[in-house]
Structure 1
Amino acid sequence: MQLLASVSFLLGLLAISHAGNVENHNNVCTVKASGGQQDDVPNLLEAFEQCGNGGTIIFPEDQSYWIATRLHPTLNDVAIEWRGKWTFSDNLTYWRNNSYPVAFQNHHAGFIISGHNISVNGYGTGGIDGNGNAWYTAEKGDTQPGRPMPFVWWNVSEVVVDSFYIKDPPLWSVNIMNGTNMRFNNIYCNATAVDAPWGDNWVQNTDGFDTMDAVNIQLTNFVYQGGDDCVAIKPRSYNIDIQNVTCVGGNGIAIGSLGQYLEDSSVANIRVDKVKIVRYNEDMHNSAYLKTWVGALVPQSSYESAGVPRGDGWGSIRNVLFSNFAVHGANAGPSISQDSGDNGSYAGTSKMSISNVAFVNFTGWVDTEKSVVSTVSCSDVHPCYNIDFDNVVLYPGKNATTPGTGSCTYTADGGVHGLSGC
């Protein structure tokens, strides 16, 4: 009996392994933070290596991890119980020089996940603090290259993310690049520049939720506060379903920009339903809008174009439904613009065609002194058609008594329905 007990004890020891701050018990890895702003990435990578294939990884709620170096694990059949907090370091020099380059718009990433069948549950306490205020204060509204995106999904499929937050991202909060069959629920993103004067936007390029090369994506119960697109549907996004969204400040819900590069930038089958648009910091530019680039290579000076000519992309936007928007003080109602990147000489040249777009049940007010609250400016090359405004009743000013109107250019004859003035 004593021999059997000894054997059982030894087998138990074999089932538990310790490597630094990682405890592995039957393919369940629990990670303890190092503390003192010591880099926790080596321990995190060890946990991903040990339990990232068919296992479970736990970041306990009482643990706060310091992310001082970039990381890109590939995971398969893994569940992550992400109750604790990751905080990116404020070493701007390191991130500018070492973040993973992202070719699209000359951006960068600090944390990338790849793989298949991945679940992340933050249980309402877990998430990532991007330490964005270090960037916002240093650049004061003039975004420079090298800001790391804190939560990038690249080459992934069958993903579920629930009850998770991103606080003060240096750049886009959640970014999907090459993703299939992904569900996000109860996601909160907040980019607030605590040192910015009231009315100044120091949190531009802090998008909330972006998709590109994405198929079958669902986002529900999403709250965003920041200074750019609350949601941005970017090139080659298909079958995107978004419901129950609150956007506080920024640019509202965007499809685009599209056509910036010499490639097919098509988007199709998009539904965005039940959205609240709330003005904040005198910065709520749009409610729902589509934006494409001009149909020519035009010299650009911004870092997002890497200082080279951009535009002349092609493709289509079709089968889009924006419905049930409560608009509280955006600068504009639902709109379409196809002149991104224009230098004044290429209006109406976009090679992106737009059709079968519906704006349904928009109520509230727009912060403008003009009567026009919605504009549709399409392409002379591909005049847009089947653009429907159904029960879009927006007032030009909080105290206005007469609903606003619209204006249209480069649209097909009879191509816009339900918008007074078109």
Structure 2
Amino acid sequence: MSTDTAPTHVGGRGGEQRIGQRELLTLISALMALMALGIDLMLPAFDDIRVAFDLGEASPRTGQVITVFFLGLAVSQLVYGPLADRFGRKPILYVGIGIYLVGAVGSALAPTFELLLLSRFVWGVGAAGARVVATAIVRDRFEGGAMAKAMSQIMAVFMLVPVLAPTLGTGIIAILPWRGVFWFCVVWAIVIGLWSLRLRETLDPAHRRPLRFGPMWNGYAEVTRTPVTFGYTIATVFLQGVFTTYLASSELLISDVFGRRAQFPFIFGLVAVLFGLGALINGRIVVRLGVHRLVNRVYAILIPLVTLSVVVSVSAGGTPNFWLFMPLLGLTLASFMFLMPNLNTAALEPVGHLAGTASALSGAARMGGGAVLGTIVSAQVSDSTTPFSIGVAVLCLGSWLSVLVVRRRSPRLAVDHLTSATPTSPTGAVIG
């Protein structure tokens, strides 16, 4: 039986149920979408948020609605990881969904901008639970190239959210008050929570770790002492910084710098389509080329792209031609779909016995560092694309240099062993 249809037995109410590989990957994508919806559905509401909280026209402070969410994602993953390795994936998933609901409801009811930011932070804390569990489940079930392929399939479905969310958010605001975007996320979280009852616990009992400071510290220390894991995580921090900068600045750039406010949902969605295409293509070619070889080739394209974007922006005085600048930006961001899943895969490969802890630490570093870097860069963006372009170029260069350092310290990566692997069950048995 193929890995796309091989069923696994899943406990649930009313007896034992069966969930196939496709449903498993779709469910994990939906769990990840809890995070994406909490980000992208908000973007069309930025103008209403400025008015509701008297922030001033074209205020960049609305970007904080995104960055504090990422900070909540970052700090809480350090807690979720050890908990998921001790108590299992499902209990921690339900804790995360519960906190997610508290943050979303709090955001919907927040009377001040400060309380909105606090609720958004709590919301991010809840979303982190789903993110850690989803990533850990993938590592529980897959290895090597099969894991990279699974992550790409998940990301392809996951990227449908940024395609649809701004348009969906615009539609919600056209019918309901702008806070309706928050209530939509509440409903989505409840639906996904009920669906996840079909999911079986994937943590191998032999891999359960005691919830004591010593083992937790040792686990985190082992992850940070693993050169590939540490170095590739740093590389993804820089890439996440670019992604956070784009999310926080896209509405301002498209609406104010390029004067295309009415087209924002469609332009944002089109860029997200490139994300999805990149993820789909990556899933098809990573097994043939191998993770490390593919990463090398993508950086060889990415660095010239971001350099060209800087030249285009500076030469146009910060207001370049829309039809030149946006395709360059779209291709730059799409290339991340060939980098993020593969760098994550390579980072987790040496520490599979610490999947929850490693996923938490790498995710915390990526989200936290990316939020800080994104806040610094996006705060410089107002009526020009030049600060944005320079910031993106510097961050991409930092990511590339991080990978080069890892390669110099680990020459064995020249032999790419992450090409193909057979997916395994939580107990290590071959699926299908």
Please give the TM-score of this superposition, normalised by the length of structure 2.
Answer: 0.23
- More contact order relative to length (CA 8 Å, sep ≥ 6): 2
Greater strand share, 1 or 2? 1
Structure number with bigger Rg: 1
Please give the TM-score of this superposition, normalised by the length of structure 1.
Answer: 0.23
Greater helix share, 1 or 2? 2
